[in-house]
Amino acid sequence: MQRRYRTISELKINESALAIAVTDPALAGKLTAMGVLPGTRIELVRPAPFGNAYYIKVDGVRLALREEEAACILLEV
């Protein structure tokens, strides 16, 4: 069966997608408070120079997220 979501690591540079859910309650509290919510548009700007983190844009706000943090944001296909 095909997955019904993708994650930030699967986005191309400058590609964006709508967030559908934020899993992992431990990280979700922080991410939702920073404005990463279901229904917001998330754009991958670029990965970090040494990897392991992403520079993203959420509703015009720029955020740096680690791989694990980015992985719990589910995006629509």
Partner 1 sequence: MSDSPGKPLKVALLGNPNSGKSTVFNQLTGLRQKTGNFPGVTVDMKEGRLRFPSGFDATLIDLPGTYSLYPTSSDEKIVAAVLTNPKDHYYPDVLVYIADVTHLEKHMLLLTQLLDLGIPVLLALNMSDTAAEMGIKVNIERLAGQFHIPVVPISGRTGENIQKLLHELERVLKNGQPFGLGETAFYPLRDLEKQVVDDVRKKLGIENAYQALLLAHHHSWLPFLQKHERETLETIVRNKEFHSLRAQVDETLERYDRFTPIVRQTIQQAGNAPDTPTDRIDAVLTHRVGGPLIFFGVMLLVFMAIFFGYDTTGGWVENTTGALIDGLAASLNESWFSSLLTKGVLPGLQGVLVFVPQIALLFLLITILEEVGYMARAVFIFDKTMRRFGMNGRSIVALIGGGACAVPAIMGARTISNWKERLITVMVTPFISCSARIPVYLVLIPVALPTSSWWTKALIFGGMYFFGLSAALAAAYVFKKILRTSDPSFLALELPEYRMPHWKNVWLTVWEKVKAFIAGAGKIIFLISIALWILGNTGPDGALLEAENKVRAEAAPTTSKDELDDRVAAKKLEASYAGMLGKSIEPAIRPLGYDWKIGIALLSSFAAREVFNGTMYTIYSLESVGAQEEEEAADQSPFERYGRLRRQMTNDRFENGDRIYTFATGISLLIFYALAMQCMSTLAVVRRETGSWKWPVLQFLFMSGLAYLIAWLAYTLLPKI
- Which residues of the shown chain bind partner 1 in the complex (CB under 8 A)? 22, 25-35, 37-38, 45-53, 55, 59-66, 69
> Hey, is 71 helix, strand or coil?
helix
- Closest approach of Cβ 77 to partner 1, in Å? 22
At 52, list the tokens.
Answer: 């392991």
**In 1-77, at which residue ranges do the beta strands (DSSP E only) sit?**
5-6, 16-22, 41-47, 53-58, 61-66, 73-76
- Closest approach of Cβ 4 to partner 1, in Å? 20
Residue number, 34 or 77, with CB nearest to partner 1: 34
> 62 - beta bridge partners?
57
- Closest approach of Cβ 72 to partner 1, in Å? 11
